[in-house]
């Protein structure tokens, strides 16, 4: 990851009507960084992506991508970005290869090898099948490599692992990491905290069109609570549960005694998850419900 | 190069979805109908049919095409690609105009024209006009019923005056050339006496409708993905 800023967003406000939908959005993303937009449905993640990709142009403030203000996006701008929408955007009556060839033909620069891409996501054997015969997961994978076919510098991925089985989700995540290694800058829009923790260098929490917090997943987890140890034991026929902080465990005399007496029935350690931190900071669940 | 790719893509898309089969079917039905008529009546019917179907078919099929693209989120992929709204409109209009000209020529030889070249020009330009009308309505609707209702005014304004014009009302009145259908009819029959007026009329209409269609496609691009409030 380099220090070169690829995306620079300053004081962005946007509204579909009279009420502001995005408010006071500012952040920057470096070359080779995976940057996550996290938030519940309707929080403004996709709208922010539309601002960055030059679809919504009537915003206030500045949103510069690869040195181009996104409201001034033109053909050259779109040659350099790739977008994988949450939904498949493919010609159902065309085969996988025909879809790839068609979308590749819309770009003028160098292209990735279509067969290689199909092989990477396990669709090479299905390359000549019509997309209408594909499962949801197959369409998602094809949609993903469609965004890569023109070898863009910046990738916008919207819920890339949504609807995929664990095996295919892993293939997809490995491919995302490979793109990062090649120096591609990636914006990952998701409400899957596990994906965000695994993949993102930094994440921003977005709720109600506002940035609530921005940091690395590691810093979020470390700053908001230490790891805990929970153990259980039997006392006069009743199961007792005790929770201790991991960094204070040496001072837990009960635990020492129970170990000596071999009375522990279970013991687990657990760190707070990004999901816990999200709820703590924003007061919102990822399904969009407010905390009581 | 990209413009050619877009046009080629639209032709493939229309082929795969059976639009060309429908054109062939329409052609066959018309040929059977023409066989029942002779002389000048046949010529007038053929000219009207060349205008009403090959030329105007873009509008009929445009709704289906745009709605299919919307249902498969193709417009989302195009909105974030180097395909500009102008390319998008060009692809649709030219691809429909090409097939319209082919079908138009096959039909007109069943009747009469003084110039096949002018007839082809008329069908091409008229097809572009109707395609642009189709884009304007198609980008604003979300189902076929809305599209049919939305194109009704275009059909009434597009066809009724032309039929009246061709069967004899004000046939030599230059002011009628303001109507793109009447201008097309002049070209379809290969008439050169009001050629400049006919061509200017059609080109002006194309420019006006293109500007409107461009705004509509930009708005459609803006609405892809995310929430709509």
Give the DSSP per-residue string, B158-204: HHHHHHHHHTTTTTT-GGGGGSHHHHHHHHHTT--TTHHHHHHHHHH
Q: Tell me whether residues B13 and A47 touch, CB distance under 8 A.
A: no
Banded pLDDT at B125 (limits 50, 70, 90): very high
Looking at the predicted structure, is the pLDDT value of residue B189 above 50?
yes
Residues of chain B in Cβ contact (below 8 Å) with chain A: 1-2, 5-6, 8-9, 12-13, 16-17, 72-74, 76-84, 221-222, 224-229
Higher pLDDT, A215 or B154: A215
Q: Tell me whether residues B12 and A87 touch, CB distance under 8 A.
A: no
Both tokens assigned to B104? 């138009």
| Under 8 Å between Cβ of A79 and A151 | no
Instruction: Quote ipTM for the complex.
Output: 0.83
Mean pLDDT per 10-residue section of chain A, whose length is 292 residues:
86 85 93 92 87 90 93 90 91 94 92 94 94 92 95 93 86 92 93 88 92 89 76 89 85 90 88 80 61 41
**Nearest of A36, A9, A39 to residue A176 by alpha carbon:** A36
Taking the C-alpha atoms of residue B101 and residue B54, their distance in angstroms, rounded to an integer, is 7
Looking at the predicted structure, is the pLDDT value of residue B204 above 90?
yes
**Nearest of B84, B74, B89 to residue B224 by alpha carbon:** B74
Looking at the predicted structure, is the pLDDT value of residue B102 above 60?
yes
Both tokens assigned to A272? 């707070």
| Under 8 Å between Cβ of A274 and A221 | yes
Sheet of strand A202-207, all strands in order from the earlier edge strand to the far edge? A68-69, A60-65, A5-14, A22-30, A210-215, A202-207, A34-38, A185-190, A154-158, A81-84
Best of A84, A100, A102, A130 to disrupt the B interface (most B CBs within 10 Å) is A102
Q: What is the pLDDT of residue A118?
A: 95
CA of residue B182 relative to chain centroid, distance: 15
Q: Tell me whether residues A47 and B227 touch, CB distance under 8 A.
A: yes
Scored b (16 or more CB within 10 A) or e, A58-86 reads: ebeeebbbbebebeebeeebbbbbbbbbb
Higher pLDDT, B216 or B51: B216
Q: What is the pLDDT of residue B192?
A: 84
Q: What is the pLDDT of residue B226?
A: 46
| Under 8 Å between Cβ of B184 and B55 | yes
Grouping H, G, I as helix, E, B as strand and the rest as coil, residue B34 is helix
Q: Give the model confidence (pLDDT) of B72-100 as tens digits.
A: 999 999 999 999 999 999 999 999 999 99
Q: Tell me whether residues A106 and B16 touch, CB distance under 8 A.
A: no
Radius of gyration, alpha carbons of chain B: 18
Contacts of A108 in chain B (CB under 8 A): 1-2, 82
Distance from CA of A194 to the nearest CA of B (A): 22
| Under 8 Å between Cβ of A139 and A90 | yes
Give the global pTM: 0.82
Q: What is the dihedral of CA B119, B120, B121, B123, to 10 degrees?
A: 90
Whole-number average pLDDT of chain B: 87
């Amino acid at each position: 990851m380099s220090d070169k800023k690829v995306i620079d967003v300053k004081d962005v406000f946007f509204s579909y009507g009279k009420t502001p939908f995005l408010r006071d959005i500012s952040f920057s993303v470096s070359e080779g960084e995976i940057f996550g937009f996290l938030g519940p449905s309707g929080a403004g993640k996709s709208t922010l992506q539309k601002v960055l990709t030059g679809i919504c142009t009537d915003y206030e403030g500045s949103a510069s991508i690869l040195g181009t203000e996104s409201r001034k996006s033109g053909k050259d701008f779109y040659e350099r970005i790739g977008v994988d929408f949450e939904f498949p955007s493919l010609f159902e009556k065309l085969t996988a290869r025909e879809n790839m060839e068609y979308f590749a033909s819309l770009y003028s620069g160098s292209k990735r090898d279509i067969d290689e891409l199909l092989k990477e996501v396990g669709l090479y054997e299905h390359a000549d099948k019509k997309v209408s015969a594909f499962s949801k997961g197959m369409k998602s994978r094809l949609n993903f490599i469609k965004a890569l076919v023109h070898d863009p510098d910046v990738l916008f991925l919207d819920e890339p692992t949504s609807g995929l089985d664990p095996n295919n989700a892993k293939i997809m995540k490995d491919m995302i990491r490979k793109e990062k290694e090649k120096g591609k800058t990636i914006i990952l829009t998701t409400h899957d905290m596990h994906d965000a923790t695994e993949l993102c260098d930094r994440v921003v929490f977005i709720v109600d069109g506002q940035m609530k917090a921005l940091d690395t997943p590691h810093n979020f987890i470390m700053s908001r609570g230490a790891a805990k140890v929970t153990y259980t034991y039997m006392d006069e026929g009743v199961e007792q549960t005790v929770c201790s902080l991991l960094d204070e465990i040496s001072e837990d005399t009960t635990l020492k005694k129970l170990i000596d007496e071999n009375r522990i029935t279970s013991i687990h350690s657990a760190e707070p998850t990004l999901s816990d931190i999200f709820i703590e900071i924003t007061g919102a669940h990822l399904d969009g419900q407010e905390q009581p | 190069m990209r413009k050619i790719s877009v046009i080629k893509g639209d032709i493939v898309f229309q082929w795969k979805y059976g639009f060309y089969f429908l054109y062939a079917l329409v052609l066959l039905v018309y040929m059977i109908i023409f066989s029942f008529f002779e002389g000048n009546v046949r010529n007038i019917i053929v000219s009207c049919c060349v205008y009403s179907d090959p030329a105007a078919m873009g509008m009929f099929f445009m709704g289906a095409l745009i709605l299919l693209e919307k249902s498969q989120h193709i417009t989302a992929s195009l909105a974030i690609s180097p395909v500009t709204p102008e390319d998008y409109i060009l692809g649709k209009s030219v691809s429909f105009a090409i097939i319209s000209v082919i079908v138009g020529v096959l039909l007109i030889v069943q009747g009469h024209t003084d110039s096949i070249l002018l007839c082809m020009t008329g069908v091409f330009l008229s097809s572009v006009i109707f395609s642009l009308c189709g884009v304007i309505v198609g980008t604003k609707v979300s189902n076929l019923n809305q599209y049919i209702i939305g194109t009704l005014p275009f059909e009434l304004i597009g066809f009724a005056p032309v039929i009246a014009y061709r069967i004899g009302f004000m046939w030599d009145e230059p002011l009628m050339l303001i109507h793109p259908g009447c201008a097309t009819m002049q070209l379809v029959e290969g008439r050169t006496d009001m050629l400049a007026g006919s061509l200017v009329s059609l080109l002006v209409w194309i420019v006006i409708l293109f500007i409107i269609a461009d705004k509509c496609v930009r708005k459609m691009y803006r609405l892809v993905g995310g929430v709509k409030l």
